[in-house]
Amino acid sequence: MTAGRLDGRAALVTGAGSGIGLAIAQRLAADGARVLTTDRAGEVDIVADVTALGINTKLVAEAEARLSGLDIVVACAGITGMEMLDGAGDEFFDQMMAVNVTAVFRLMRDALPLLKRSPHGRIILIGSVMSSFGEAGMTAYSASKHAVLGMTKSVAAEVGAFGITVNCIQPGAIDTPMTAPAFTTMPEFKQRWIDKAALGRLGQPQDIADVAAFLASDDARFMSGHGVFVDGGATQRQ
Ligand SMILES: NC(=O)c1ccc[n+]([C@@H]2O[C@H](COP(=O)([O-])OP(=O)(O)OC[C@H]3O[C@@H](n4cnc5c(N)ncnc54)[C@H](O)[C@@H]3O)[C@@H](O)[C@H]2O)c1
């Protein structure tokens, strides 16, 4: 914790009901930020589905009303799923894109007017190692996370003129309710990710939250448009 580092900053975190989003919301608050949390489930300020029509304008209006603005937006709500190409239906692919891509696009767009008013606007997106790589069964998920990294680069180019930075955290395998079912039913899959990581373990939500807090802080003021791997060294070795 770096107490006081985010004093006076207002933050909105989606997907804050569980896992990585919950840890990020808690860490930003511990650093001094006032945090508005949302999720479709869990103990959050606003229970809502990020794919619902008009929800992002509502979230931004709530941030304006409750926090008098926004300095930090963290888009963490996300879903995953494993389907081989020949078994994946339209609905599976469309839902992956709706949550992981379209909702993120709309949130950034709708939050922009408030972020432009901030002297230190921050957009933090949650991609994945799958923003840069692929894996059998992960076509839809990796397409959605590549899109998140693509948006990071383009939006960073657009909003730098307003002093806003945009970065994408690329977690490796993190121990959360998202990965728990697969890790429980396929222990060999879990072990493969442990073995892949140079640090020899799964990540914890706190490992991601601490990097998010850094990206939200003034320490990261000249960093924008990047995908930041936080994967225990899993992807950068043979
Ligand atoms: N756990 C991992 O190994 C891992 C690795 C790379 C990236 N990620 C990404 O990190 C983010 C957080 O995942 P997590 O591991 O903490 O999983 P999680 O399931 O614990 O958290 C995801 C949260 O998003 C919320 N959510 C999903 N769909 C939603 C919707 N339509 N509207 C509102 N909220 C919705 C869920 O309710 C949940 O609280 C996701 O974007 C995920 O893709 C996770």
Residue 125: beta bridge partners?
A: 75, 168
Q: How far apart are CA 82 and CA 182, in angstroms?
A: 10
Which atom in ligand 1 lies closest to the alpha carbon of residue 208?
10
The pLDDT tens digits of the residues spanning 185-237 come to 999 999 999 999 999 999 999 999 999 999 999 999 999 999 999 999 999 88
Range of the domain at 125: 10-175+205-227
C-alpha of residue 76 to centroid of ligand 1, in Å: 6
Residue 227: beta bridge partners?
A: 168
Quick check: is 129 in a domain? yes
Q: How far apart are CA 13 and CA 25, in angstroms?
A: 6
Quick check: is 85 in a domain? yes
Which atom in ligand 1 lies closest to the alpha carbon of residue 141?
43
Catalytic, 141? Answer: yes
Quick check: is 81 in a domain? yes
Quick check: is 194 in a domain? no
**In the structure, which protein residues have their CB atom closer than 6 angstroms to any atom of ligand 1?**
15, 17-21, 39-42, 49-51, 76-80, 99, 126, 128, 171, 173-174, 176-179
The CATH number assigned to the domain holding 139 equals 3.40.50.720
Stretch 28-46: mean pLDDT: 98
Q: What pTM was estimated for this model as a whole?
A: 0.98
> Is pLDDT above 70 for 47?
yes
- Our mutation pick for probing the ligand 1 site, out of 43, 178, 184, 229, counting the most ligand atoms within 8 A of Cβ, is 178
Q: pLDDT category, 3, cuts 50, 70, 90? A: confident
Which atom in ligand 1 lies closest to the alpha carbon of residue 17?
39
- Six-digit token pair at 211? 């990097």
The pLDDT tens digits of the residues spanning 93-104 come to 999 999 999 999
Average pLDDT over all residues of the chain: 97
DSSP 110-133: HHHHHHHHSTT-EEEEE--GGGT-
DSSP tag of 85: G
> Is pLDDT above 70 for 1?
no
For the beta carbon of residue 93, count every other beta carbon within 10 angstroms: 18
Cα distances from 157 to residues 104, 116, 154, 164, 165, in angstroms, run 17, 14, 5, 10, 9
Quick check: is 58 in a domain? yes
Q: How far apart are CA 213 and CA 5, in angstroms?
A: 9
Q: How far apart are CA 34 and CA 32, in angstroms?
A: 7
Closest residue to atom 26 of ligand 1, CA basis: 77
Q: Are 203 and 23 in contact (CB under 8 A)?
A: no
The pLDDT tens digits of the residues spanning 140-190 come to 999 999 999 999 999 999 999 999 999 999 999 999 999 999 999 999 999
Amino acid at 8: G
Q: Which of 141, 183, 193, 214 is catalytic?
A: 141
Q: Number of structural domains, the chain?
A: 1
- What sign for the dihedral angle of Cα 130, 131, 134, 137? positive
List, in order, residues 6 or more apart from 162 with CB less than 8 Å away. 115, 116, 121
Quick check: is 190 in a domain? no
Closest residue to atom 43 of ligand 1, CA basis: 78
C-alpha of residue 167 to centroid of ligand 1, in Å: 17
C-alpha of residue 161 to centroid of ligand 1, in Å: 31
> Is pLDDT above 80 for 61?
yes
> Is pLDDT above 90 for 238?
no
> Is pLDDT above 90 for 2?
no
C-alpha of residue 16 to centroid of ligand 1, in Å: 9
Percent of the chain with pLDDT over 90: 97
Burial class (CB in 10 A: 0-12, 13-18, 19+), 154: exposed
Amino acid at 173: A
Q: How far apart are CA 47 and CA 16, in angstroms?
A: 10
Amino acid at 26: Q
